[in-house]
Chain A
């Protein structure tokens, strides 16, 4: 059975940049045609953002790496669906959010069973922190309750609007606003 993936031809792909939407549209077009080099270029362009998002959601390197990989594997599987760069970016965040929510639910189901001592220790152990800049703030964010943490990260760090956040997290706009306010108030208390 032939693979549907074209061979790498990275020299043909221009390096994308955040302010070069025309290049990303070209990449998406080639990505839809199963061009592996285009896929890698898109991954290189977006992976920092997705990894940053899930790292702040999970607070754990292993989970963040796994979620990041799964997001892009699914992007490949749905490559025919992406019409434009904005849609692609939103889709990545939506899948990352869904996978994280699924992980939370699994974790809650698992906590009803007894954890092995070494698993408990791993859950409680401090994970690798993001770069030094804003380290205290990053740690404080990681200690926020999950749902309000997600809203804060999406709104303040990644610039999503409440209507978009509501869709990503399957909550109402009103709830998104309340969560954001609660998150900021908690951070204020921790950081002052």
Chain B
């Protein structure tokens, strides 16, 4: 081991009182017998002293407070908008999700849910009363469902143009909520394949399409205002 080199590398720790007692004694002894090491110690001590004498506070060339204040106010506004959108999205989802959970549970138990519990859906157009909706061919419910799907697509396109106006957290929240609605729609459509023309499922599907469209419209309006 090259002791002078090793001890030289520890000089800063020696100066700062960071060495254990044994190593500090070795450095003391080396400093007494090695004038070059002693000179280096003195030079490092001077550098440390000069650096410690530098002012801790430096004054910015301009007052930064107005800009900081402006940025915090803007951040508060964005946070408020995010909370409002989150609440709106949740309010749109909760009743439908609760109904869906109840619907599947009732279906598995073989029970019927009262019509009053179904989310409001557009009334189907004139339909022969003697036939179930599915047997009448493309129904007014199908028409409403398709119209809503097309409308949602158009609003999505409009939102896409302005989505960068939304804070990233808000965008993520909206996308998650839309994904949840789409997942619910997917499940209803799957159920409709197994029970084609089921009026309750069709009305539920229309209701979810309406919720999706409503959320998209609200988010798009907010994004174009920001």
Contact = CB atoms under 8 A, between A and B. Distances in A.
Contact of A43 (B16, B43, B54, B65): B65
Contact of A133 (B55, B56, B84): B55
Nearest to A185: B44
B68 A157 contact: no
Contacts, number: 117
B130 interface: no
A172 B58 CA distance: 29
B150 to A, nearest CB: 33
B57 A49 contact: yes
A52 B56 contact: yes
B13 A4 contact: no
A131 B65 contact: no
A1 B77 contact: yes
A77 interface: yes
A191 interface: yes
Contacts of B48: 156, 184
> Main SS of the interface on chain A?
helix
B75 A181 contact: no
A47 interface: yes
A181 B7 CA distance: 12
Interface in A139-192: 141, 152, 155-158, 162, 177-178, 180-181, 184-185, 187-188, 191-192
Interface in A40-85: 40, 43-44, 47-49, 51-52, 55-56, 61, 64-65, 68-69, 72-73, 76-77
Contacts of B56: 48-49, 52, 157-158
Q: Which 9 A-B pairs have the closest CB atoms?
A: A48-B57, A52-B58, A156-B51, A181-B12, A1-B80, A76-B72, A188-B43, A187-B47, A73-B71
29 contacts: A1-B77, A1-B80, A3-B77, A5-B72, A39-B72, A40-B65, A43-B68, A47-B64, A48-B58, A51-B57, A52-B58, A65-B60, A68-B64, A72-B64, A73-B72, A73-B75, A76-B72, A128-B61, A131-B55, A134-B54, A156-B51, A157-B54, A177-B18, A178-B9, A181-B12, A181-B13, A184-B51, A185-B44, A192-B43
Interface of A: 1, 3-5, 36, 39-40, 43-44, 47-49, 51-52, 55-56, 61, 64-65, 68-69, 72-73, 76-77, 128, 130-131, 133-134, 137-138, 141, 152, 155-158, 162, 177-178, 180-181, 184-185, 187-188, 191-192
